[in-house]
Structure 1
Amino acid sequence: MSTVPRPTRTAALAGPGVVHEKRVTAALFAAGLTTFAAMYSTQSLLPSLSAAFAVPPAHAALAVSLTTGFLALAIIPAGVLSARVGRTRVMIGSAVVASALGLLLPLCPTLDTLLAVRAVQGVALAGVPAVAMAYLAEEIGAAELGAAMGIYIAGTTIGGLAGRLIPSLALGLTSWRWAELAVSLAAAACTVWFARSLPPSRGFVARPAGFGTVVGDLTAQLRHRGLIALFGLAFLLMGSFVSVYNFLGYRLTHRPFELPAALAGSVFVLYLAGTIASACTGRLTDRRGHARVLTAAVTLMAAGVLVTIPDHLTTVLIGVLLFTTGFFAAHTTASAWVGALAENRGAASSLYMFAYYLGSAVVGSAAGIAYAGGGWIGLVACVAALFMIAALLLASLVTAGRPARARRRYRCRCSCTPDSGCPR
C-alpha cells in the first residue's frame, strides 16, 4: 500500500487560486510601471523641450498637462466600457496603444505635433487607472486584497519615478529625442510583460449600464458634502504637486544652481518617499483617524514648499522631500476617506480620480504663468494660495464629521438620536 499522502481537497482547490492571485498581482505591478512611466515621461524633459523648440516653460508644460487632462476626461468612459467588454480587454488595449504612441514621440518634428500625440496618449492611458482597482477587487480574495493593492500602487510609484529618472539620466549623454525613446522602450517592455502575464478574468460579470444610470450614480455623489470636499482636495493637492515638479527642473538648471540636466533630474529619486509614505499612512489613519492624518499631511506639504524658497540646494532638497512625503500621505488618506464615506464606491472613486488628474492638467499648466511672472517665488505663492483653499475644505470636512462622531458617542437604550430628543 502506498504511503504517499494524498493532497486534501482544500489544498487542491486552493492551489490554482493562489497561483491566479499571484499572476494577477504581478501583472498589475507591471501595469503600474508602464502606465505611469509613459504618463510622466516628458516631465523631466521640459527644460530641454523649451530649449529645443524655443518656447516658454508654460508652453512646454503642456506636454504633461495635456496628457493628464485628457486622461481625466477619459477615466469615467473607460470604466463604463470595461463594465461592458471586460476589464482585461480595456487594460491591455490601453497599455498597448499608449506604448505605441510613446514610441512615436521622439519622431515628432514640432512641439505642437508632440503635444497632439501626448493628448491622444492621455486618452489611451486612462484604461489602466480607471479599471485596475475594480479588477483587483473582483479577482483577489478579501484577505489578500490590501496587499495586492499595495503592490499595484508600488508599481505606479516606481513607474512614475522611472518615467522621470530614465530620460533625466539619458540627457547626460544625448538629446531629448533619444531620452524619450529610452523611457518609451522601457514602457513598451513593461507592456509586453503585462499583456503576457495578465490572466483571464474569473470574477468579472458584465454590468452594462445606460447613460442615465451612469449620470445618476455620479450625480448622487455630488450631493455629499464630505465627498465634494475630498474631490476638491484631490484637484488642489495634485495640481500643486505636479506644478512643483514641472518647474523644479527649470530652477535647478538655471541660476544660482546651474546643475547639469542629468544631475537635476536625479532629484526625482525623492519620489520614493511616496512609496514609504503610502505604506505607513494607512496604518496611521487606522489609529489617528482620517481628519488628523490628512490635516498633518497637508500641513507637511505646505511647510515643505516654503522650505524650498531659499537658494540653497540642501534646503531645496529637504523641502521637496517633505512636500513629496506630505502629498502621498494626503492622497492615500483622502482616497481611503472617499471609500469610507461613499455608498457607491465605484462612482465616487471615478469622480475622485477625475478631479485628481484634472488638477494636474489645469493647475499644472496655469502655474507656468506664475513661474514666468515671478520665478520660483511666484510659483510658491500660487501653491500657497491653493493650500489656503485646501485649508477651508479641510475645515468643512472636520465640521461635517462632528455630527457623525457625536452620534457614535451617544448611547441610549431606545432608538433616539441626540437631535431628536429622548422620549423617556
Structure 2
Amino acid sequence: MPAASTEASAPVAGALEPEAPSPLPEPLSPGQPAYRRMSLALFAAGVAAFALLYSTQALLPAVSADFGVTASAASWTVSAATGALALFVLPLSALSERFGRRTLMTVSLTVAVVLGLLVPLAPSLESLVALRALQGAALAGVPAAAMAYLAEEVRPRALIAAIGLFVAGNSIGGMSGRIVTGWAAQFGGWRVGLAAVGVLALIAAVAFRVLLPRPRRFTPAPVSPKALATTVRGHLANPLLRRLYAIGALFMTVFGAVYTMIGYRLTEEPFGLPPGVVGSVFLVYLVGTVSSGSAGKLVERLGRRGALYLAVVTTAAGLLLSLSTSLSAVLLGLVLITAGFFAGHAVASSAVSRTATTGRAQASALYQSSYYIGSSVGGTLGAIAFHSGGWAGTVALGLLAVTGVVSLTAYGSWAARVAARRGLVVATGGR
C-alpha cells in the first residue's frame, strides 16, 4: 500500500516542478530572409525619422525671411526637435522594455508623421517651434528602441554592419528630407516643402511597419523607475561608456553646427544659390551612407580607436576646406565632414551596444541622448558663432569639438595601457 501511494504521488510531484524556460531562437545572420526584411524595415524607419527631424534645416533662410527673424531664432525649429528627442529618448527606452521595441517604434513614427502633416500649418514661429518640439519627443522612440532591437535580434559579429545600415537610413532620410523641402520650397514656399516631407515620411513609416519582423528574442520587463535609475547609474559609472557618449555628442556638435548654418552660407555671397540648389547640396549625405555602412570594415582593419582617429582627421580636413570661397572646394569639404561624421557615429554607437552587457536599451538611449544634445547645442552655438564670426566662427566651433574627440580617444588608449600594466603587475605578484 505505501508503495502504491508513492507511485501515485510521483507524477503529481513532477507536475509541480517549474518548466525549464524554452531557449531563445538563434539571432539573425546576414543572408537570412528575416535579416533582410529587418534591415530594410529599419532603413525605412531611419528615412522617416530623419526626414522629419531635420525637415526645417534646409528651409531656415526662408523661415527667417517669412517671419522676419534672425538665423539664431529660426535655428530653434531644429534645436527644439533635437533637444526634445534628447530628453525623451531615455524614458521611452524604458517603455520599450515593457511594451516592446517594435510597438514603440510604430507608435512613435505614427505620432511624428501626424505632427509632420500639421507643422506646415503653424501660424507663427513660436507655434512652429512648439510643434517641432513635440515631433522631436515623438521621434525619440525610434532611436530609443532600434539599437536595442538590433542588439537583441542580430548576431554580435553582424551588429556593426546592421547598425551601419540603420545609420545609412538616417543619412538617406536626412538627405531626402532636405532635398524634397528645398525644391518644393523653391516652387511653393517653405510650408509646401514641409508638407512634402510629411508625405515622404508617411510612405516610409508604412513600409517600416509592413516589413519589420516580430521580435523573437525580446522578453518584456516591468517598468521600474528605481531599476531604471540603477541601470543608468551603472552605465554612467562605466568610463568607456562615458567616453563614447561624449564622443557621440562632440561629433554631432560639428554636424549640427555645419548643416544648420550651411544654408545661410550658400544663399549669401559669393555663392547666392537658390533654395532648390541648396537643398540638392545635401546629396552629399550619400557619402555618409557609404561611410557608415563600411564602419565595420574600418574597425576590423584599424581597431575602434584607429577608426575614430581616421573619422576625426577626415572631418577636420573637411572643415578647413569649407573655408574656401570656391563652391567646389566647399562641397568637397562637406563631403569629407559628412564621411567623417557618419563613420565616427557608427563606430561609437556600435561600441556602446557591444560594451553594455545589461540594460542595452538604456545604454543606447544614453548615447542617443548625448548625441542629440550635441545636435541641439551644435545648431544653437553654430548660429551664434556664425553671427559673431561668419562661417569661420562655425568652423572654429567644429574644430574645437573634434579636438575633444581626439583627446577622449587618446585618453582611452592611455587608460587601457595603464590598466594592462596594473593587471600584469598583479599577475606577476608585483615583480
In the superposition, the TM-score normalised over structure 1's length comes to: 0.88
**Distance 1:334-1:83 versus aligned 2 partners, 3 A rule:** same
Pair 1:361-2:368 in alignment? no
Residue equivalent to 1:385? 400
* CA contact 1:24–1:139 (8 Å) conserved in 2: no
Q: Does structure 2 retain, via aligned residues, the 8 Å contact 1:27–1:194? A: yes
- The question of 1:33 aligning with 2:47 is answered yes
Q: 1:165-176 alignment to 2 at 5 Å?
A: 165-176=179-190
Q: Which deviates more, 134-143 or 332-341?
A: 134-143
Q: For 1:173, what is the secondary structure of its paired residue?
A: helix
2:148 pairs with one of 120, 127, 134: 134
Identity %: 42
Pick aligned residue for 1:301 from 304, 315, 330: 315
The 2-side partners of 1:58 and 1:168 are apart by: 20
> Structure 1's 392 and 133: CA in aligned 2 closer, same or farther, altered over 3 A?
closer
Q: Distance in 2 between matches of 1:362 and 1:155?
A: 23
Provide the residue aligned with 1:82 in structure 2: 96
Cα pair 2:160 2:350 within 8 Å, conserved: no
Tell me the residue number matched to 2:410.
Answer: 395
The residue aligned with 1:154 is: 168
- The residue that corresponds to 2:72 in the other structure is 58
2:378 is the alignment partner of 1:371: no
Question: Is contact 1:71–1:126 with CA below 8 Å preserved after alignment?
Answer: yes
- SS of the residue corresponding to residue 417 of structure 1 reads helix
User: 2:245 matched to 1:238?
Assistant: no
SS in 1 for 2:86: helix
Tell me how far apart the structure 1 counterparts of residues 384 and 239 of structure 2 sit (CA, whole Å): 32
Aligned-pair distance for 1:22? Answer: 4.0
Give the counterpart letter for 2:362 in structure 1.
Answer: A
Alpha-carbon distance in 1 for matches of 2:430, 2:72: 64
1:133 Cα deviation from its structure 2 partner:
2.5
Following the alignment from structure 1 to structure 2, what is the Cα–Cα distance between the partners of residues 191 and 293?
A: 32
Hey, what's the Cα distance between the residues in 2 that align with 1:120 and 1:375? 31
Q: 1:356 to 1:124 in 2, by over 3 A?
A: same
Match of 2:238 in 1: 224
- For residues 218-268 of structure 1, give each alpha carbon's deviation from its aligned partner in whole angstroms, at most 9, with x where no partner exists: 111222223222211111110111110110010100111111111122110
Distance 1:188 1:51 in 2: 28
Structure 1's 226 and 143: CA in aligned 2 closer, same or farther, altered over 3 A? closer
1:173-214: CA deviation from partner (whole Å, max 9, x where unpaired): 220011111111111122222233434433322111411111
2:127 corresponds to? 113
The alignment partner of 2:73 has SS state of helix
One-letter amino acid matched to 1:94: S
C-alpha distance in 2 between matches for 1:226 and 1:150: 21
1:253 to 246, 267, 271: 267
Q: Does 1:421 align with 2:418?
A: no
Distance 1:177 1:386, change over 3 A: same
Q: 1:305 to 1:111 in 2, by over 3 A?
A: same
**Matched residues in 1 for 2:115 and 2:212: separation?**
21
Partner-residue secondary structure (3-state), 2:110: helix
Contact kept, 8 Å, 1:226 with 1:400, in 2: the verdict is no
Matched with 1:182 is 196
**2:84 maps to which of 47, 70, 89:** 70
Match of 2:365 among 339, 343, 350: 350
Question: C-alpha separation between the residues in 2 aligned to 1:148 and 1:332?
Answer: 10
Q: Which moved more, 1:124-133 or 1:147-156?
A: 147-156
Q: Tell me the SS of whatever aligns to 2:219.
A: coil
Specify whether residues 224 and 247 from structure 1 end up closer, same or farther in structure 2 by C-alpha distance, changes over 3 A only.
same
CA displacement at 1:401 relative to structure 2: 2.0
Question: 1:99 touches 1:188 (CA, 8 Å); kept in 2?
Answer: yes
Q: CA deviation at 1:382?
A: 2.0
Query: Which residue is equivalent to 1:3?
Result: none
Q: Which amino acid aligns with 1:153?
A: V
- What is the CA–CA distance in structure 2 between the aligned matches of 1:199 and 1:281, rounded to whole Å? 25
How many residues are treated as equivalent by the alignment? 401
- 3-state DSSP class of the match of 1:289? helix
User: 1:400 is aligned with what amino acid?
Assistant: A
Runs of 4+ aligned residues of structure 1 deviating over 6 Å after TM superposition are none
1:155 is matched by which residue type in structure 2? Answer: G
Letter in 1 for 2:405: A
Deviation at 1:418, TM superposition (A): 2.8
Structure 1 residue 141: Cα displacement: 5.7
Contact 1:61 1:365 in 2 (8 A): yes
> Are 1:207 and 2:214 an aligned pair?
no
Q: Distance in 2 between matches of 1:384 and 1:288?
A: 23
Alignment CA distance shift 1:383-1:139 (3 Å): closer
CA contact (8 A) 1:79 1:131 kept: yes
Is the contact made by 2:45 and 2:208 (CA closer than 8 Å) also made in structure 1?
A: yes
Give unpaired runs (5+ residues) of structure 2: 1-27
Question: 1:23 and 1:36 mapped to 2: Cα distance?
Answer: 20
Whichever residue aligns with residue 362 of structure 1, its letter is V
Distance 1:58 1:109 in 2: 19
TM-score (norm 2): 0.87
